[in-house]
């Protein structure tokens, strides 16, 4: 049985009275405070858990290691040995990984033991086989050897009942190893967040089609679907619709039925031809967030039949920046993961810039020979700059004068992926 969290409140995107232009950090903090997970929980096998978001804390069903064991091949006995020469008689048999040695090693005796074997009763110390001379009945070696040498204690890695993986974590390959080692065959995860991508506009045609004068190819949809897929979400292609309120209504109704979140691009501003905004305003819960951001227009946020809608700019550069900066951390929370800010690194600039105060700016950038280059043009219509770039340079809200060699914040595109 799956259990779904409640939907978002109708006023979750409402701005406080009197808000005009909102700084990026304030907008992010407000968005973070207004949303919660919307995905249900299920249990899946370890083989199906990679990349999924854990729904609950996972505790160790078994200690790791479950029993004291040896870390090396050698000979085991009780207690440490002082400096000098030591000769110990051997008991019959040996201890190896797998079924435990059934007997007990008497005090003053030793047993042949192999890596990973549980320590037999009467053994708490192991001497390396390379440090031993042996025949069929005795071993000889030089001390000193500390008690407990070359052994692992039960639970020294993980104790039974300890939390090994926290709720909200995106499961990694190494998490699967930890879960398996501590007794798990299935994990409690959230259903993948279904994120629909809808393009709007009479001017758009499908990539590869024959463009007529005044028409452009839909570049946003393939880009956004790929970005969402790389982030681990279930990216759903909702197609494109013309600037027609009736067609938009049908598309949004379908999106609300088939997805958990919708990203639209185009028509989300406040102009005469912005039909997405008009429809969301009249029949949804539209809010325009005027964010002090470049590139980017006001971010349109709404609920359509209790499904959150992120109205992105139609410009591909602004659409990508708004997706990475605002949608990515919000989608992570809606998916059941934690809100995470992208990790930036301070690196020397290979460019000059005089930045005016007032807006947070993100420049298309890449790293070459330890220095950060930015795209030759800041024009938001230069789609080639997106392909050229490997990340973004983030410039603070205030005025800045940047000279070559100055440290700047570089954020690789991969750093925006929820983790």
248: pLDDT strictly greater than 70 = yes
- pLDDT confidence bin for 16, thresholds 50/70/90: confident
Report which of residues 163 and 242 the model is more confident about. 163
271: pLDDT strictly greater than 60 = no
Give me the mean pLDDT over the 173-195 stretch. 97
19: pLDDT strictly greater than 90 = no
Report the alpha-carbon distance of residue 211 to residue 397 in Å, rounded: 40
- pLDDT confidence bin for 268, thresholds 50/70/90: low
- pLDDT confidence bin for 2, thresholds 50/70/90: low
Taking all residues of the chain, what is their mean pLDDT, rounded to a whole number?
92
- pLDDT confidence bin for 236, thresholds 50/70/90: very high
- pLDDT confidence bin for 287, thresholds 50/70/90: confident
Contacts 24+ apart (CB under 8 A), 94-100: 95/70, 95/119, 95/120, 95/123, 97/69, 100/67
Q: Which of 17-21, 180-184, 298-302, 332-336 has the lowest mean pLDDT?
A: 17-21
141: pLDDT strictly greater than 90 = yes
> pLDDT tens, 188-231?
999 999 999 999 888 888 899 898 898 889 999 999 999 999 99
> pLDDT tens, 306-317?
999 999 988 899
Quote the pLDDT of residue 274: 66
- pLDDT confidence bin for 273, thresholds 50/70/90: low
| HEC secondary structure over the chain | CCCCCCCCCCCCCCCCCCCCCECHHHHHHHHHHHCCCCCCEEEEEHHHCCCCEECCCEECCCCECCCCEECCCEEEECCCEEEEEEEEEEEEEEECCCCCCCCECCCCCEEEECCCCECCECCCEEEEHHHEEECCCEEEEEEEECCCCCEECCCCCECCCCEEECCCCECCHHHHHHHHHCCCCEEEEECCCEEEEEEECCCEECCCCCCCCCCEECCHHHHHHHHHHHCCCEEEEEEEECCCHHHHHHHHHHHHHHCCEEEEECCCCCCCCCHHHHHHHHHCCCEEECECEECCCCEEEEEECCEEEEEECCCHHHHHHHHHHHHHHHHHHHCCCCCCCCCCEEEEECCCEEECCCCEEEEEEEEECCEEEECCCCCCCCCHHHHHCCEEEEECCCCEEECCCCEEEEEEHHHHCCC
The β-bridge partners of 194 are 234
Cα 164 to Cα 182, 197, 263: the distances in Å are: 9, 35, 35
Contact 270, 232 (CB under 8 A): no
Quote the pLDDT of residue 177: 98
Q: Which of 8-12, 257-261, 327-331, 391-395 has the lowest mean pLDDT?
A: 8-12
> pLDDT tens, 292-335?
999 976 788 999 999 999 999 888 999 999 999 999 999 999 99
| HEC secondary structure over 351-415 | CCEEECCCCEEEEEEEEECCEEEECCCCCCCCCHHHHHCCEEEEECCCCEEECCCCEEEEEEHHH
41: pLDDT strictly greater than 60 = yes
Quote the pLDDT of residue 148: 96
Give me the mean pLDDT over the 380-407 stretch. 94
């Amino acid at each position: 049985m799956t259990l779904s969290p409640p939907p978002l409140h109708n006023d979750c995107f409402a701005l406080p009275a009197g808000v005009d232009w909102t700084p990026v950090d304030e907008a992010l903090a407000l968005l973070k405070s207004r949303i919660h997970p919307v995905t249900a929980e299920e249990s899946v096998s370890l083989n199906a858990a990679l990349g999924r978001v854990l729904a609950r804390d996972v505790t160790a069903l078994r200690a790791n290691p479950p029993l004291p064991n040896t870390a090396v091949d050698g000979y085991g006995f009780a207690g440490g040995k002082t400096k000098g020469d030591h000769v110990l008689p051997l008991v019959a048999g040996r201890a190896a990984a797998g079924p435990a040695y059934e007997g007990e090693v008497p005090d003053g005796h030793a047993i042949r033991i192999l890596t990973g074997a549980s320590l037999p009763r009467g053994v708490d110390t192991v001497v390396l086989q390379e440090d031993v001379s042996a025949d069929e009945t005795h071993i000889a070696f030089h001390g000193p050897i500390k008690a407990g040498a070359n052994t692992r204690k039960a639970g020294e890695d993980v104790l039974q009942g300890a939390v090994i993986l926290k709720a909200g974590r995106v499961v990694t390959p190494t998490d699967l190893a930890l879960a398996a080692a501590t007794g798990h065959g299935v994990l409690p995860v959230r259903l993948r967040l279904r994120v629909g991508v809808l393009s709007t506009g009479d001017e758009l045609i499908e990539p590869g089609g024959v463009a007529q004068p005044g028409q452009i190819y839909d570049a946003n949809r393939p880009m956004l679907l790929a970005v969402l897929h790389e982030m681990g979400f279930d990216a759903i292609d909702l197609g494109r619709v013309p600037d027609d309120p009736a067609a938009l209504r049908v598309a949004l109704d379908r999106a609300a039925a088939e997805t958990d979140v919708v990203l639209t691009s185009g028509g989300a501003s406040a102009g005469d031809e912005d039909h997405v905004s008009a429809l969301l305003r009249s029949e949804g819960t539209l809010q325009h967030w005027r964010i002090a951001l470049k590139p980017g227009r006001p971010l349109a946020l709404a609920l359509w039949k209790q499904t959150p809608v992120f109205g992105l700019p139609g410009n591909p550069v602004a659409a990508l920046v708004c997706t990475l900066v605002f949608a990515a951390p919000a989608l992570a929370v809606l998916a059941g993961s934690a809100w995470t800010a992208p990790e930036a690194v301070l690196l020397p600039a290979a460019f000059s810039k005089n930045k005016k105060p007032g807006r947070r700016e993100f420049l298309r950038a890449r790293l070459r020979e330890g220095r950060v280059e930015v795209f030759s043009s800041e024009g938001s219509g230069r789609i080639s700059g997106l392909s050229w770039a490997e990340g973004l340079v983030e410039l603070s809200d205030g005025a800045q004068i940047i000279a070559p060699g100055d440290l700047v914040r570089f954020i690789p595109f991969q750093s925006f992926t929820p983790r």
